[in-house]
Amino acid sequence: MSESNPEERLDALHFLRRVQEADLARTDRWIQDAEQRAAEHARRRPPSPTPDWALERGERALPKLVHTGECWSEFFMQAITREQAIEALTRGGVPPCARCKPDKELGVLE
């Protein structure tokens, strides 16, 4: 390709664009296929059981609230045992959720 021939350069750039569009379309198909396989896999896998107790994490992953499984959300929460919930409420200074009241269910009322 000659720098002195702008039409030849323009043709080459258009060709390059078509090649890149084809590559992008192929990549988009691969992504769509992978997303479909992941969705099918998720449908076949049984959902994880909801924990009985959860610890919500706040800023810098510090304990924020103790919850019952009724409030469970996978985001910012960690499944904990009954003993860990009691420990967090009594000695850990972690407050109970005002909505689900884990302190009441655990028998740890102030």
| pLDDT tens-digit readout, 46-95 | 877 888 999 998 888 888 999 998 887 767 888 999 999 999 999 889 99
Element (H, E) at 51: none
**Residue at 106: amino acid letter:** L
| pLDDT at residue 105 tops 80 | yes
CB neighbour burial string for 46-61, b if at least 16 within 10 angstroms, e if fewer: eeeeebbbbbbeeeee
Mean pLDDT of 4-13: 92
User: Do 102 and 53 touch, CB atoms closer than 8 A?
Assistant: yes
